[in-house]
Structure 1
Amino acid sequence: MTNQDTRKAKLEFNKLQKRLRRNAGKAIADYNMIEEGDKVMVCLSGGKDSYAMLDILMSLRASAPVNFELVAVNLDQKQPGFPEEVLPAYLDGLDVSYYILEKDTYSIVKEVVPEGKTTCGLCSRLRRGSLYGFAQDIGATKIALGHHRDDIVETLFLNMFFGGSLKAMPPKLLSDDKKNVVIRPMAYCKEKDLAAFARYKEFPIIPCNLCGSQENLQRQHIKQMLLDWERAYPGRTETIFSSIRNVAPSQLADADLFDFSNLRAEQIDTELHIPVVNVVNL
Structure 2
Amino acid sequence: MSRIKLNYAQKNCIASAGKLMQQLSMVNPGARIGVAVSGGVDSLTLLEVLLHRQRILPFPIELMALNLNPGFDPKSHEHVASFAKSKGVAVHAELTDHGLEAHSDRNRKNSACFLCSKRRRTRLFELCRDYGLTHLAFGHNADDLVSTFFMNLFQGGRVDTLSPCEPFFEGRLKVIRPLLWLEKDVIKRAARTWQLPVEENPCPSAGASNRTRTWQWFLDECGKDARKKNNVLNAIRRAALDRTIDLNY
Shared fold, TM over 0.5: yes
Once the two structures are superposed, the pairs formed by residues 145-224 of structure 1 within 5 Å of their partners are 145-175=138-168, 179-208=172-201, 210-213=202-205, 215-224=207-216
Amino acid at match of 1:168: T
Q: Measure, in 2, the Cα distance between the counterparts of 1:241 and 1:158.
A: 15
Determine whether 1:57 maps to 2:53.
Answer: no
In structure 2, relative to structure 1, the CA distance for the partners of 1:217 and 1:66 (3 Å cut) is: same
Q: Is the 8 A contact 1:150 1:237 kept in 2?
A: no
TM-score with structure 2 setting the length: 0.84
The equivalent residue for 1:130 is 123
Amino acid at match of 2:107: V
Choose from 232, 239, 242 the match for 1:240.
232
Q: Is the 8 A contact 2:71 2:98 kept in 1?
A: yes
Q: Secondary structure of 1:242's match?
A: helix
String of CA shifts for 1:24-74, please: whole Å, max 9, x gaps.
011111211111110011110000001111101101111112221111111
What displacement does 1:165 show?
Answer: 1.2
Q: Is the 8 A contact 1:144 1:184 kept in 2?
A: yes
Give identity over the alignment, percent. 27
Amino acid at match of 2:49: I
Q: Measure, in 2, the Cα distance between the counterparts of 1:212 and 1:225.
A: 21
What displacement does 1:229 show?
Answer: 4.3
What displacement does 1:104 show?
Answer: 2.8
What displacement does 1:111 show?
Answer: 5.2
In structure 2, relative to structure 1, the CA distance for the partners of 1:214 and 1:196 (3 Å cut) is: closer
Q: Secondary structure of 2:68's match?
A: strand
Q: Secondary structure of 1:95's match?
A: coil
- Which protein is bigger by CA-based radius of gyration? 1
In structure 2, relative to structure 1, the CA distance for the partners of 1:192 and 1:30 (3 Å cut) is: same
Q: Measure, in 1, the Cα distance between the counterparts of 2:17 and 2:152.
A: 25
Q: Measure, in 1, the Cα distance between the counterparts of 2:238 and 2:51.
A: 31
Aligned-pair RMSD on alpha carbons? 2.4
In structure 2, relative to structure 1, the CA distance for the partners of 1:195 and 1:246 (3 Å cut) is: closer
Q: Measure, in 1, the Cα distance between the counterparts of 2:198 and 2:152.
A: 29
Determine whether 1:112 maps to 2:106.
Answer: yes
Amino acid at match of 2:232: I
Q: Which consecutive residues of structure 2, in runs of 5 or more, have no partner in the other structure?
A: 240-249
Q: Which consecutive residues of structure 1, in runs of 5 or more, have no partner in the other structure?
A: 1-9, 248-282
Amino acid at match of 2:39: G
In structure 2, relative to structure 1, the CA distance for the partners of 1:101 and 1:193 (3 Å cut) is: same
State how many pairs are aligned.
235
The equivalent residue for 2:242 is none
Higher relative contact order (CA 8 A, sep 6+): 2
Amino acid at match of 2:124: L
